[in-house]
Structure 1
Amino acid sequence: MLLHGCGAITPAPPVARAADAGPELPARTGHVVDEADVLTAEQAQALSHRLAEAEARTHHQVVVVTVCGFDGETIGGYSRWLANAWGIGRKFYNDGVVILVAPVQRQVRIEVGFGLEKALTDAEAVMILYRDVIPRFRAGDWNGGIDAAVTSILREIS
């Protein structure tokens, strides 16, 4: 399945960068960055509002990012690079979470900052993916899968 936001017409030209500069990242425009265009504007806005409210309440920052590719990286390397480059979470607490969705590659990852690993372990993150997210994605329900991930993550870290 080709998605509209992932270059169904023509891909964007590559950007020249230094070899050690890391992957090209989307611009951070808020709590939800939907580069793959899998959410409607209303869904993205509602999710962004929900994540902003949760951050105000818990001080833990959660962002959702959809991308069309990893620019030569693995999903794990890309998500860590993204979290660090964007400064997700508070600097001295390292308490951010990135939900990274790559629909074309059929991959999804929950990247948890070290400061939240007791509240949201790697095992819990994987369980959220297999229990809440992947079944919805397989049914074509991108918003439902992302929303379920956010619900489960906020429950664990609140």
Structure 2
Amino acid sequence: MSAEPAIKAVTPLELTGRVVDAAALIRPEKETELTARLEALENDTLAQVMIVTTPDLDGRDIAGYGQDLGNNWGIGDAERNDGVLIIVAPNERSARLEVGSGMEDLLTFARSAEIVEAMLIHFRDGDYTAGIEAGLTQIETDLRGASPDIMETKLAA
């Protein structure tokens, strides 16, 4: 009987704020600016959006990594499930939006893919900050431009 292979333990990143730049991609002054934008967005829409860069995905796919990270950190309101996580893993050349089920009517799979593609255009040029800002700008526009009845439903939840 052969022994089961060891499962690599996932090293969780520490939640230190609205921007967790573990891959050191964002200049400090830009991190401050992004944090203020994320705070204002949450104040305006109640949706909690976070940005994380990670030096590696611990051998996992970005979707599972992001889902686990979002759940472990408790991003978004538990009842509304309105968290959004922007994930950038430069060493794996990967980026993703992890979207809580309460936000899937606004940030659909197709829309999330468009936003990530807008980010990747900048990443290909080596400008991670511009890519992150481009993605966040589109998310801000979508959330702030959502029809009033959609946001009222979220506020009432």
Point out the structure with max Rg over C-alpha. 2
Q: Distance in 2 between matches of 1:94 and 1:122?
A: 16
Which residue number corresponds to residue 13 of structure 1?
none
Q: Distance in 2 between matches of 1:106 and 1:115?
A: 28
Q: Distance in 2 between matches of 1:120 and 1:85?
A: 21
Q: Which has the higher helix share?
A: 2
Which residue number corresponds to residue 67 of structure 1?
54
TM-score, normalised to structure 1's length? 0.84
Aligned residues: 139
Q: Distance in 2 between matches of 1:23 and 1:58?
A: 32
Which residue number corresponds to residue 39 of structure 1?
26
Q: Secondary structure at the match of 2:88?
A: strand
Q: CA RMSD in A?
A: 1.5
1:125 maps to which of 104, 112, 119: 112
Deviation of 1:151 after TM superposition, in Å, equals: 0.6
Q: Secondary structure at the match of 2:121?
A: helix
Q: Distance in 2 between matches of 1:124 and 1:85?
A: 25
Is 1:144 the counterpart of 2:144? The answer is: no
**1:35-86 CA deviation, whole Å, 9 max, x = no partner?**
0000110011110111011101110000000001111211110000000000
Q: Distance in 1 between matches of 2:40 and 2:142?
A: 16
TM-score, normalised to structure 2's length? 0.85
**1:89-120 CA deviation, whole Å, 9 max, x = no partner?**
00111001000000111100011000000011
CA contact (8 A) 1:101 1:107 kept: yes
Q: Secondary structure at the match of 2:50?
A: strand
Q: Secondary structure at the match of 1:119?
A: coil
Give the 5 Å matches for 1:1-158. 23-130=10-117, 132-158=118-144
Q: Secondary structure at the match of 2:105?
A: coil
Letter of the 1:152 partner, please give it.
Answer: Q
Letter of the 1:151 partner, please give it.
Answer: T
CA contact (8 A) 1:116 1:157 kept: no
Letter of the 1:145 partner, please give it.
Answer: G
Gaps of 5+ in 2: 1-6, 145-157
Structure 1 segments (4+ residues) deviating >2 Å:
none
CA contact (8 A) 1:28 1:86 kept: yes
Q: Distance in 2 between matches of 1:135 and 1:24?
A: 29
Q: Distance in 1 between matches of 2:140 and 2:75?
A: 15
Gaps of 5+ in 1: 1-18
